[in-house]
Amino acid sequence: MTTDGAPLRVDSLRMEFGGITAVDGTSFVVEDGTLTGLIGPNGAGKSTTFNCITGVYTPTAGHVYFQGEEITGLAPHQIARRGLVRTFQIARELEEMTVFENMMLAPQHQRGESLIASVVPGLRAAVVTEERGLRAEVWETLEFFEIDHLAHEYAGNLSGGQRKLLELARALMTDPEMLLLDEPLAGVNPTLEKKLLERIHALRAEGYTFLLVEHDMEVIMENCARVIVMHQGQVLAEGAPAEIKEDEAVIDAYLGEPI
Amino acid sequence: MTQTVTGAVTETMRRLVGDSDLRMIGVTIGGVYLIATLLAIAAGYDVGGIVNTLRAITVFAAGYGMLVLALNLHWGYTGLFNIGVAGFMAIGTYVTAILSAPPELSPGAGLGLPIPIAVLGGMLAAAIAGVLTALPALKMRADYLAIVTVALSEIIRLSIKSQTLAEVSVAGVTVGTGGGRGISYPAPSDAASWLIELVPGGTVLYPAGAAVGIARPVVTGLVYMLILVAFTAAFYWLLVQIGQSPFGRVLKAIREDELVASALGKDTRIFKLKVFAVGCALMGLGGYLWLGRSGFVNDLSFRPDITFFVFVALIIGGAGSNTGSVLGGIIFSGVLFYLPQFISQNFVRAARAPDTFVEALSGDLAGYLVANISALRFVAIGVLLVWLMQRRPEGILGHRMEAAAAIDLRGGRAGGSDDD
């Protein structure tokens, strides 16, 4: 398995919960600068794989490499700091914070995240300066996602689709290398879905790498260059959408549904 | 219906008081002062007595203010369920006491260090105790922290009381808590007379006080009261600085959803430990300055009920809001705690009250209520809490959503007002 140009490599990943094996020896790579889709029927182990990659679960066995370095078993914040940032299936906004505060939270290594720098008057000036810089950056990102009109709204008041946009925008504020999106289009109306996909494509063109877990087969087939199909905790097929559509095993796994 | 009534009351309050935090606090304390003054006049107090009553209320309110603010940092900002407030107060107070008490002073035994160093030592000890408590519990769900802290606070109180720790000799130096007899040490309240002597012309206060009928101890008491108020203001300032910063933003995020904060690269455990240490240090300092102000404490000051009182005050004021914390401290300590006590001390002998509630219903209900007011206030606090939970679970000022940035984020793209 080549790792050249592959920021993310999952190798024989295994995750057991008690007697149940949710992920059973999954291996795949995500190539640099691609929009890769991860699909599979319910219970295929997509979300568990996701949680193993991002450090929410520590896998029972197997390895995860990001940019050539092993990240297996690291804490979620350590993985995020390396530039591998995720979003959540059910958008997890910080509801009692405004959209703007949500965005300001994300940037890494903020000077003011030190308690001392926040309270000592002499050091606080630098924090204020940094905050002003971030504010400008946040406005830019909010405008890119066309949610700048919601800047001062509490995140709890946003619609499902707006939350998904905010979540992606917020993840982007961490200055990631690669984004893992867990069902970014679930519960999003068609207009916003189009907007969201446009943004994802634009960002991919800028060089970001995406791994997309999605339920909606059509979306994956239309938008992803490469598709990984999981079934019963294992990778069933891997390839371009056209190949996947013809794959007998995949068709069987989906009980003959046309893909 | 009740919703609109509550809304209307809040709206009227807002029109009368405005949105300014300082004005809100001023109006609240002013209201408490007014009631207390009227009661004191009715009880036949002279000027000195009235002033002393208001002083006592303010000391109470400032003491609660400090502790509620410290708890707000834990529970209001970060969502850390610390129900061991009394324990951390005890550690701060006792360590400061032991460090500052002269060796010859008995009961208890100390090191006789300068008071500022002793105070720092006490805060540090409380902070370390906080970190040690939090370390194992922070990995787990919030309720475990609650169990650990409440247990710890009782362990601390019982250890203080135990004869084993009353006097301990370590390498020829004798230190100890004094056990059940309590511990004596240089009184923080002596700082007042020291300050009066230190400030040029400060001693003028004594004859000036005497001229209007305020005795010398009340004058020093008033100065110590101002010191406590200044500390409360400093706590408030510190919390605003912490809240309105990227650090505070992460705390708020932890409260809302810790997994999100860590998915954005924040090491939430470090943030929680830091904030726990700071809050515990403040609790230790608050305990020393307030409950320890007379230069003598024993274990009875640190029973778990003080923890629950501080929580009640925070819930009334509104978790998450600093101004709400101070308001909650004033309302709880003034209206719910001090005034009923004042009434029971001054008005009970006026009439023979009925012995039971049933008797009271058919006769002198008011007399019965006054006679039993110190017990009934706990009923009133309970009723108030139930009412709050149903009608306004966020407290007076909770959910006002304090800003979480070092700059003003409001306003448009051009930048809004740029003040810090």
Residues A17 and A47 placed together within one structural domain of the fold: yes
| Mean pLDDT for chain A overall | 89
Interface test with A, best of B238, B240, B260 (most A CBs within 10 A): B260
pTM: 0.89
Residues A186 and A133 placed together within one structural domain of the fold: no
Rounded CA separation B238/B236 (Å): 5
Residues A230 and A204 placed together within one structural domain of the fold: yes
Contact (CB<8Å) B253/A94: yes
| Res B291: pLDDT | 95
Q: Which of A104, A129, A157 is the last residue of a domain?
A: A157
Q: Is B349 on the interface with A (CB under 8 A)?
A: no
What is chain B's percent helix, strand, coil content, to nearest 5? 70, 5, 25
Q: Taking 80 as the threshold, does the pLDDT of residue A18 lie above it?
A: yes
Structurally, how many domains does chain A consist of? 2
Residues A86 and A106 placed together within one structural domain of the fold: no
Query: Where do the domains of chain B lie, and which CATH numbers do they carry?
Result: 11-391 (1.10.3470)
Is residue A12, in this structure, part of any structural domain at all?
A: yes
Range 215-274 of B in CB contact (< 8 A) with A: 238, 241-242, 245-250, 252-253, 255-257, 259-268, 274
**Does the ipTM surpass 0.85?**
yes
Q: Please, is A175 exposed, middle or buried when counting C-beta atoms within 10 Å of its C-beta (0-12, 13-18, 19+)?
A: middle
Residues A54 and A180 placed together within one structural domain of the fold: yes
Residues A240 and A187 placed together within one structural domain of the fold: yes
Residues A86 and A189 placed together within one structural domain of the fold: yes
Is residue A186, in this structure, part of any structural domain at all?
A: yes
Residues A189 and A112 placed together within one structural domain of the fold: no
pLDDT tens-digit profile of A170-206?
Answer: 999 999 999 999 988 888 888 888 889 999 999 999 9
Q: How many CB pairs under 8 A join A and B?
A: 131
Question: Which of A223-227, B108-112, B330-334 has the least mean pLDDT?
Answer: B108-112
Is residue A57, in this structure, part of any structural domain at all?
A: yes
* Enclosing domain of residue A196: 8-93+174-253
Q: Taking 70 as the threshold, does the pLDDT of residue B221 lie above it?
A: yes
Residues A150 and A183 placed together within one structural domain of the fold: no
SS (H, E, C) chain A: CCCCCCCEEEEEEEEEECCEEEEEEEEEEECCCCEEEEECCCCCCHHHHHHHHCCCCCCCEEEEEECCEECCCCCHHHHHHCCEEECCCCCCCCCCCEHHHHHHHCCCCCHHHCHHHHHCHHHHHHHHHHHHHHHHHHHHHHHHCCCHHHCCCEHHHCCHHHHHHHHHHHHHCCCCCEEEEECCCCCCCHHHHHHHHHHHHHHHHCCCEEEEECCCHHHHHHHCCEEEEEECCEEEEEECHHHHHHCHHHHHHCCCCCC
Q: Return the CATH number at A54.
A: 3.40.50.300
Residues A107 and A57 placed together within one structural domain of the fold: no
| Res B95: pLDDT | 95
Residues A70 and A113 placed together within one structural domain of the fold: no
Is residue A21, in this structure, part of any structural domain at all?
A: yes
| Mean pLDDT for chain B overall | 86
**A3 contacts A13 by C-beta, under 8 angstroms:** no
Contact (CB<8Å) A127/B245: yes
| Res A113: pLDDT | 92
